[in-house]
Structure 1
Amino acid sequence: MQTTTTIDGVLSTGDHKGHVPLRFQVPPGTTRLEAVFTAEPERAAGALFDNLISLAVEAPGGWRGARHNNPDRAIRLDAGAATPGFRPGPIEPGTWTVWLDVFRLLGPDPVRYRLEVTASDEVVTASPLPGGALVHDRGPGWYRGDLHAHTLHSDGDWDVAGLIAFARAQRLDFLTLTDHNTVSGIAELEGLAAGDILPMGGVELTTHFGHALVLGTRAWEEWRANSMAGVAMPALCEARTREGKLFVIAHPMSPGDPACTGCRWDYADMRPGPAGAVEIWNGPWSDYNEDGLAVFRDWLTQTWQGEGRRLVATAGTDIHGPDDAGRRHGFNLVRAAGLSEAAILAGIAAGRNILTAGPSLAVSATGADGAKAGVGDVIEGRTAELRVAAPDAPAGATLRVVQDGTALWTGDGAGASLRLSADRPSWIMVELRDADGAALAIANPIFLAP
């Protein structure tokens, strides 16, 4: 038996950066739902960009997923399988909702849409996911990995297996899947990692006013800050942090509207607000990463000198498919207590993290009392001895030491020993640049606390 529900409607520029619920009833005994969404025109006359409408599905018992910025607007759900972006599971009777997340509708032409939902009671069978092997924990050490990556579960051009193959080619120790507003691919990631790569859970909160990573999650996360009543970004950040997850402001200075709607961080009450980490290296090094580094340093001064709170820098490939695989990405080299998700996230939250496209950085400090510190650590006192080196720096590369936003020393990869002094809370960062000025490696700060 099949029943079909058709919903027709019109979107206007008033729906730009909004959320439109399309509700329908699912009868008892339904085992499969199939939904097809169409909208015209794809681009208004004279507009430079297509309209961007993404779909999310909410069942009576909770969210079943989303498919951001993907041209495939057909959704199939049953107990055994689901369209990428969505989670399989029993089809509950009652009121379901397909949400139209209107990321870009510039007009002036209205958009006419149709949603057709077919409910059926045919027999379905489940296809079990492969069981992943546990990764061997090698104990305390430095571990290399990615905190930001996408697949066809959102707007990527490859499946989870393709992303894992890329991670293996890069010899990563850990890999985080952060598809847009969905966690549907994480179970597959865990099943296919096969013991040689630590799979880590995550999601990219892809809002109308900025993007953020929630790392260490496998659950749907509310993301519609400032576009749904009662949903504010600082509160979302604080709630995730209380749960032990890591909240990272993503690519804060990336190109924004209308080309990449919502990509630039435009939350005035979250600069950085309660966030503990900022992604300053997104994909290959670029002008907007340079701007992001500058903003991070401004926020770093604000949080450390004003609040006594440390702020952490991260990197993420933000990779979407094989076309990006050959580029020079920045990865995270994390000093952690072990190769586990909890240990990696704890190391990053503590700032024990070097961002690198390959070369290593040796950064350490010794306080006047003989106390030793590495990246992320605090030296108590007014003076310290800093040692920096980049032993495998390529020819023409330059090391630079920056204190509180001012260049303190510049030299070659052989490094130097420098005396630091400060009369107030101070931070020190070390970076390695190539001959063209692009970043090769950036170390998280060491902090002085007089």
Structure 2
Amino acid sequence: MQRRDVLRLSALAGAAGALTLDPVTFAQADERDDGGGEKTRTVSGHLPTGSPDFVYLPVEVPGGVREIAVYYSYDKPTVPAGTQGNACDIGIFDERGTDLGGRGFRGWSGGARTEFAISAEKATPAYLAGPVRAGTWHVVLGPYTVAPQGLNYKVTVTLRFGEPGETPKPVYPPQRAKGRGRAWYRGDCHLHTVHSDGKRTPAEVAAAARAAGLDFITTTEHNTTSGHGAWDGLWGDDLLILTGEEVTTRNGHVVALGTDPGVFIDWRYRARDNAFGRYARKIRQAGGLVVPAHPHGTCVGCNWKFGFNDADAVEVWNADFTPDDEVSIAEWDNTLVAAARGDGRWLPAMGNSDAHREPQVVGLPQTVVLAEELSRTAIQEGIRKGRSWIAESSAIDLAFEAVGGRGRHAGIGERLAVDRAEEVTVRLKVSGAGPDCSVRFITDQGQLYGTALPGSGAGTAEWRTTPSYAAYVRAEVRHAPTDGGASGIPGRMAAMTNPIWLGERGH
């Protein structure tokens, strides 16, 4: 096929714009001799700056195909300083179509690999094994960023003929592990393997999770479910593995936490399409939680633009603590202030490692959840209710409570329902924080109390207040500032809690 620019626009209902190219045909495929052999076609083209988010290349697949294989490449010209160069993702949909919702979805590797293959028996990681049926398949290019010169691409499609084979039934992780009954469980719910753009295998991630002292993890590959069935033999009484997806749109990423195994959540929309609410509901219908990830991340497309009305929790701390986490925590704290004067609904915070490869640390940070048991539903319930706190490692332990008169008390994520004028004691007990750490108590007015921990990194901080003075209290454990405090900017986070609410609701 000749090089070409835009051929025709197609309107994917509600999607961020799509371009459909002329189809690739294999007209002579039915002339093969004995069902063996293969046929290859190559397409090249040019996409200008401002191209739609998704470019669909139809591939007419005849009967008798055992495997479809795709290779692609694109140019990366030099661009002016401060300008984005070319970056192009890839994936594929089968003969069931490309409609939003993903019925025909067969895989997405983003920019992590240049080639993939799918057959009934197996598929490249990030892709789904299954029959290669006759009909119109669509290779999908995602020109993430396009240089001023445009993007020149080349796609090679190979069909291999023969007996189709059988698709193995996927083995998914169980929904419950032995656990310790009602307890605090440590987990990391944002992780990547070779099934998207990670470099670790599932076995390596499971080993790293155990080494980090975690009780549960969630597999969250970018825009694919192929990793859901890749954990056979890696779970155990000591490790619960939940399935999910990092839904990676052009306007932010959301962790679909604990969705039913095999359930795919589409990502082909922007905030301006007003479609996110529908897909947030699909996450919940699949038994998952909606958790915006790294909302102030610095990568292209990482900033969260969809708002938090449809969220169940928010990832305020992602990997090593950096300034964008500081901004996320400040934004989240503002939502707590709004909740204090509203109907009591509030958005819990969580932290995850988003680990892709060495030396990124699985479990840095980790969310520690109070759950009735080590099961999918119990962990999700603890996260949803904010009965959780975040730590940089399993070496840190803490207990946080608010105590009123007549023995009334509340823990993290709970409400101490006492009179506005009643004195309340807020107490934080910490261990394992390391030297040069301090404690801060944050309220709807900001920080109202702070103290240094002993050099051992263990100690207790106690403060007295009233609900009229503080609508909520949350705790932070911080390392010493790198500049000795001269700038007034606190040091990096070692641990932080969700709030304890003080006073009757609505007062």
| Fold in common (TM above 0.5) | yes
1:92-116 superposed Cα distances (whole Å, 9 cap, x missing partner): 22111111122211x2112222222
1:417 correspondence with 2:469: no
1:93 alignment partner AA: A
**1:249 aligned partner:** 292
Match of 1:73 among 100, 103, 114: 114
Deviation at 1:44, TM superposition (A): 4.1
Match of 1:15, SS?
coil
Separation (CA, whole Å) in 2 of partners of 1:132 and 1:246: 18
Separation (CA, whole Å) in 2 of partners of 1:193 and 1:121: 37
Deviation at 1:280, TM superposition (A): 0.9
Where do residues 159-174 of structure 1 align in structure 2 (5 Å cutoff)? 159-174=201-216
Would the aligned equivalents of 1:129 and 1:191 in 2 still touch at CA under 8 Å?
Answer: no
Match of 2:231, SS?
helix
Deviation at 1:187, TM superposition (A): 1.0
Separation (CA, whole Å) in 1 of partners of 2:48 and 2:217: 40
**1:262 aligned partner:** 301
Structure 1 window deviating more from structure 2 (129-138 vs 211-220): it is 129-138
TM-score of the two chains, using structure 2 as the length reference: 0.80
State the 4+ residue runs in structure 1 displaced beyond 6 angstroms: 127-134
Match of 2:279, SS?
helix
Match of 1:303 among 339, 342, 353: 339
1:385-404 superposed Cα distances (whole Å, 9 cap, x missing partner): 32222133322210111111
Separation (CA, whole Å) in 2 of partners of 1:304 and 1:276: 17
Separation (CA, whole Å) in 1 of partners of 2:148 and 2:225: 35
Deviation at 1:25, TM superposition (A): 1.5
Deviation at 1:191, TM superposition (A): 4.0
Match of 1:390, SS?
strand
Separation (CA, whole Å) in 2 of partners of 1:195 and 1:65: 31
Deviation at 1:406, TM superposition (A): 1.0
1:66 alignment partner AA: W
1:43-90 superposed Cα distances (whole Å, 9 cap, x missing partner): 3444665421111211134211210231x2211001111111111111
1:316 correspondence with 2:316: no
Match of 1:147, SS?
strand
Q: Percent identity?
A: 31
1:184 correspondence with 2:220: no
Separation (CA, whole Å) in 1 of partners of 2:338 and 2:173: 43
1:397-419 superposed Cα distances (whole Å, 9 cap, x missing partner): 10111111511211134323333
1:373 correspondence with 2:410: yes
Deviation at 1:307, TM superposition (A): 4.3
**2:70 aligned partner:** 35
Shift in CA distance, 222/369, structure 1 to aligned 2, threshold 3 Å: farther
Q: Which of these two proteins has the greater Rg computed from alpha carbons?
A: 2
Match of 1:196 among 217, 238, 243: 238
TM-score of the two chains, using structure 1 as the length reference: 0.90
Match of 1:192, SS?
coil
**2:15 aligned partner:** none
1:250-271 superposed Cα distances (whole Å, 9 cap, x missing partner): 111121xxxx21012233xx1x
Separation (CA, whole Å) in 2 of partners of 1:5 and 1:336: 55
Shift in CA distance, 419/103, structure 1 to aligned 2, threshold 3 Å: same
**1:221 aligned partner:** 265
2:248 alignment partner AA: T
1:232 correspondence with 2:275: yes
1:108-144 superposed Cα distances (whole Å, 9 cap, x missing partner): 1122222222222224466777786873233111111
Where do residues 313-352 of structure 1 align in structure 2 (5 Å cutoff)? 313-325=349-361, 329-352=364-387
Where do residues 279-290 of structure 1 align in structure 2 (5 Å cutoff)? 279-290=315-326
Deviation at 1:243, TM superposition (A): 4.3
Separation (CA, whole Å) in 1 of partners of 2:48 and 2:313: 37
Deviation at 1:196, TM superposition (A): 3.3
Separation (CA, whole Å) in 2 of partners of 1:379 and 1:43: 60
Separation (CA, whole Å) in 2 of partners of 1:226 and 1:322: 32
Extract unaligned runs of 5+ from structure 2. 1-35, 97-103, 454-458, 482-490
Would the aligned equivalents of 2:192 and 2:219 in 1 still touch at CA under 8 Å?
Answer: yes
Match of 2:400, SS?
strand
Extract unaligned runs of 5+ from structure 1. none
Would the aligned equivalents of 1:352 and 1:376 in 2 still touch at CA under 8 Å?
Answer: yes
2:384 alignment partner AA: A
1:446 correspondence with 2:480: no
Separation (CA, whole Å) in 2 of partners of 1:419 and 1:237: 40
1:113 correspondence with 2:161: no
How many residue pairs match? The answer is 437
Separation (CA, whole Å) in 1 of partners of 2:231 and 2:274: 30
Shift in CA distance, 140/11, structure 1 to aligned 2, threshold 3 Å: same
